[in-house]
Structure 1
């Protein structure tokens, strides 16, 4: 699990490391409240119920991370009456590699199928997702 430290935490680490009598146990006890509070803000896609919101007005799928401060998004545009271009997927650096983008990709592809649309897959991640999750209903809706 990755823990991010605040400037205050790093200042305390620096302060503790300057004390020649401070050892690992000494400063780890000192930092324990900061480590606990930092871990509480870490988003874990495997242990969390991920909720994808579809904002049709803004043409995007959104996952709110860490409350509502950080967001992962998948953007799309209508390029015809029944054709969408799945353009871009973005997950903040701190949350990458946790399986978040796949939830956006699945929601977007399910939307395409449910609405009986055709999809251009401009976004490289959506292309990868479809390749790694070969669903016949997806292939029927991909614009060739």
Structure 2
């Protein structure tokens, strides 16, 4: 099983992480014979002014152990959205990621 340490590593394998503001998520896509397939996401909402809540994160079971969940969490919590808001993490994965990497945020609750 491949292990991805950076987004560049993942991109070489046809996997990209993108921000989709209209869907309020950061999405992982994998290129395949049928085109790009959604294989993961970190969803967020705005429960009140000035707060972004990362409320749901999922990565396809076939990609567990590859490091993609960590790359997705990193992209989400270091994004412009996260930097412009106080971050709340009601998703256990993002909460755990922030506990391991508190230096990534200016503000968190």
TM range (shorter): 0.7 to 0.9
1:100-123: CA deviation from partner (whole Å, max 9, x where unpaired): 11111111111202xx20111101
1:19-52: CA deviation from partner (whole Å, max 9, x where unpaired): xxxxxxxxxxxxxxxxxxxxxxxxx343432532
Q: TM-score, normalised by structure 2?
A: 0.78
Q: Could you tell me how far 1:82 is from its partner in structure 2?
A: 1.5
* Structure 1 vs Structure 2 CA RMSD: 1.7
Residue number in structure 2 paired with 1:105 = 73
Residue number in structure 2 paired with 1:71 = 39
- Count of aligned positions: 97
Q: TM-score, normalised by structure 1?
A: 0.60
User: Which one has more relative contact order, counting CA pairs under 8 Å at least 6 apart?
Assistant: 2
Task: For structure 2, list consecutive stretches of 5 or more residues without a partner in the other structure.
Answer: none
C-alpha distance in structure 1 between counterparts of 2:59 and 2:31, whole Å: 13
Find the residue that maps to 2:99 and give its secondary structure.
helix
Residue number in structure 2 paired with 1:51 = 16
- Kindly indicate which of the two structures has a greater share of residues assigned to helix: 1
1:119 aligns with 2:87: yes
Would the alpha carbon gap of residues 66 and 95 (structure 1) be closer, same or farther in structure 2, given more than 3 Å must change?
A: farther
C-alpha distance in structure 2 between counterparts of 1:134 and 1:78, whole Å: 21
Find the residue that maps to 1:104 and give its secondary structure.
helix
- Kindly indicate which of the two structures has a greater share of residues assigned to strand: 2
